[in-house]
Amino acid sequence: MYRLIGLFLLALTIPAFLAKEAEPVGPPVYDQFLADNSKFHQQVQQLADYVATDLPADSLRAAFIRSRLAYKRIEWLLEYYQPFLASHINGPPVIEVEGTEPGQTPILPTGLQVLEPYLFPVYNADRKADITRELTASLTYAARLEQGIPADKITDTDVLEAMRQQLFRLLTAGITGYDAPETRTGLSEAALSLRTLRDVFRPYAARLSKPMATELSQHWTDAIRVLETASDFADFDRVSFIREQLYPLSRALQQARKSLTIPLATTRRFLSPMVATLSDSGAFRADYLINFGAFVSTPQKVALGKILFFDPLLSGNNARSCASCHRPEQAFTDGFTKSHSFSGRKRVLRNAPTLLNAGLQNAQFYDSRAFYLEDQAHDVLTNAHEMKTSPEDIVQKLMTSADYRKRFADAFPAGLTAPNIRNSLACYIRSLTCLNARPDRYLRGEAVAFSTDEKLGLNLFLGKARCATCHFFPIYNGFVPPHYEKTESEIIGVPRRRKIRNAQIDTDPGKFDTYQKDRHRFAFKTPTVRNVALTAPYMHNGVYKTLEQVVDFYNRGGGRGIGIQLDGQTLNETPLKLTGVEQTALVAFLRSLTDTTGLTQRPYQLPLVDGNSVLNRRRIGGRY
């Protein structure tokens, strides 16, 4: 019988009169995982047997759903300790082609999500061989799962952190339909996940004070009841569930952890271990996404980066600044379909994206060609169509300013260097984080205005409209929660011109131009929709002028829904069938995501250049 190591160590350090309460109670986590994994393996084997003996489609679908439910009992621990194995059991059905992979060798997905479209909504008996192959792969991986979680690694800290992450997972991937889009079993699966977590927590609950244990028990009961009594997946009130059941439960678990003096997880992650909910202030750590420890943000770097951002000295003609194309008043965009090139006579390839929350993703530019904001800054500064300069020229110019020399000396031990210029700009952009819009505050339980239309729109976004299966809650971009290790791209079929039939695909090849992989053709990074009311026109080519037009495009099924023959479209081409009222509500919610508080102020002045009256008259923010 295995023991929870963390509980044992805790029992040695707490006062003697509490020692009895600290004794672990109930089945050990690892033993329970083994038992649940065995049941999962049995369910998948049963499905394989059903397929082999040609049972009716209804029997196959029922067996598949049972397999998914069985997986939800082990998901919480497997995802925490072995996310790679978990991705082969229930990862997204997307064929990956890594940028560094030679010969365009595709990485084929496996698991339950790959199986789902073979069985739902209609069973395709002609694909029996494919189904059998996938089931064989799933059984192979299922047999390895117990090897991935050695018992001696399970600690109290990890158990509580794994539970917390599972709550976030059922919110971002479960009830949104991300990992079961066809079966639409996300609500029942979420309920089973909660029941599993409640069982896991029982030994800990026995050590809580009676009032705290009673309150927590009620939160478990309420959340499970709401999920199990939901009558329809599309119409489920996700907003109320998050605000009134899931977040209170998550907060109560966090308080219980503190009461039990179980330490926070120390593993460095993008998601802070300190927050109880995904809507809490400080939930995400932008400084996790840096490639050198010395690049961590400081107030001095941020202040310096802000001045550099608005200074035309960073361009080849001393007239254009970063703020020329990224205007703070327009959520750091410029309002054009495609930005003006450096010469002013042409346009660049794509629309200027917002920089708000740009630090909350690990891929930059529409084609994901840069991973770090420092690299993004270098790319823009040296691009002949954007800032048309070089690191050496910038350093040389800034060195002629005593003010700049001092500011860099105060911010960096090495002073004014090209890498430190890039790091300053990156630190400023990382500071442009805004996750305090009215929907965020409403979900936290604050008394804030949130209209009926806006609430309906958020429910649609998280459910029927399927928006949150690509624009993940709560950042609403393609950075996949809760591990936050990959930023997704999608092929949605953006047209060259706005048409609702017989449209033609825009000629921009997207990620293909960077990675030269066929499966990346017309693929673009999924951007955030926060502050989208300020960032028109929309899409990489600015083809849509209003949010209403954007919603209509998705409602029709993307590019294929407007006549574009696009075999590789990753966006579900099935029309959403949103009513006019629903489309209006969805737009109302998108507009409610506006929050630029404290981020739009320009500098009052720029550093003086020694003895150069011409450059000292340069415009703050540059010209365009």
In the listed set 375, 404, 434, which residue is the last one of a domain according to the structure? Answer: 434
Which structure tokens are listed for 287? 């400084």
Q: Is 371 exposed, middle or buried (0-12, 13-18, 19+ CB in 10 A)?
A: middle
Residue span of the structural domain in which 238 resides:
155-267
pLDDT of residue 99: 53
Residues 579 and 442 in one domain: yes
Q: Is 1 a domain residue? A: no
Same structural domain, 320 and 232: no
What lies within 8 Å, CB to CB, of 203 at 6+ separation is 4, 7, 24, 25, 26
Q: Where residue 271 falls among pLDDT bands split at 50, 70, 90?
A: very high
Structural domains counted in the chain? 4
Q: Would you state the structure tokens that stand for residue 205, as one six-digit string?
A: 């609950």
Band (104; pLDDT cuts 50, 70, 90): low
Is 442 a member of any domain?
A: yes
Q: pLDDT category, 150, cuts 50, 70, 90? A: confident
Contact 189, 174 (CB under 8 A): yes
**Residue 623 belongs to a domain:** no
Give the residue from 270, 13, 262, 288 showing the smallest Cα distance to 158. Answer: 262
Instruction: With a cut of 80, say whether residue 8 has pLDDT above it.
Output: no
Do 415 and 471 share a structural domain? no
- Is 277 part of a structural domain of the chain? no
Residues 263 and 317 in one domain: no
Task: Say what the pTM is.
Answer: 0.93
Helix (H, G, I), strand (E, B) or coil at 374: helix
Q: Is residue 282 part of a domain?
A: no
Q: Are residues 100 and 176 in the same domain?
A: no
- Tens-place pLDDT, residues 300-348: 999 999 999 999 999 999 999 999 999 999 999 999 999 999 988 899 9
| Claim to verify: residue 452 and residue 566 sit in the same structural domain | yes
CATH number for the domain that contains residue 322: 1.10.760.10
| 444 shares its domain with 588 | yes
pLDDT band at 551 (very low <50, low <70, confident <90, very high): very high
What pLDDT sits at residue 98? 60
Q: Within a domain: residue 606? A: no
Question: What pLDDT shows up at residue 101?
Answer: 54
pLDDT at 24 over 50: no
Mean pLDDT, rounded, for 156-165: 96
Please indicate, yes or no, if residue 251 is contained in any of the structural domains: yes
Asked which of 386, 415, 434 is the last residue of a domain, the reply is 434
For every residue of 430-454, DSSP letters joined together read HT-----SHHHHHHTT------HHH
588 and 443 inside one domain: yes
Quick check: 446 pLDDT over 50?
yes
Residue 159, domain CATH: 1.20.120
Final residue of a domain: which of 115, 134, 152?
Answer: 152
Q: Which two tokens stand for residue 40?
A: 């999962």
| 483/415 same-domain check | no
- For the chain, percent of residues with pLDDT exceeding 70: 94
Spatial CB neighbours of 62, under 8 Å, sequence gap ≥ 6: none
Q: pLDDT tens-digit profile of 338-370? A: 999 998 889 999 999 999 999 999 999 999 999
pLDDT tens sequence across 27-86: 489 999 999 999 999 999 999 999 999 999 999 999 999 999 999 999 999 999 999 999
Asked if the model's pLDDT at residue 14 lies above 70, the reply is no
Please check the confidence at residue 270 and state whether its pLDDT lies above 60: yes
Same domain, 137 and 172: no
Confidence of residue 9 (pLDDT cuts 50, 70, 90): very low
* 31/93 same-domain check: yes
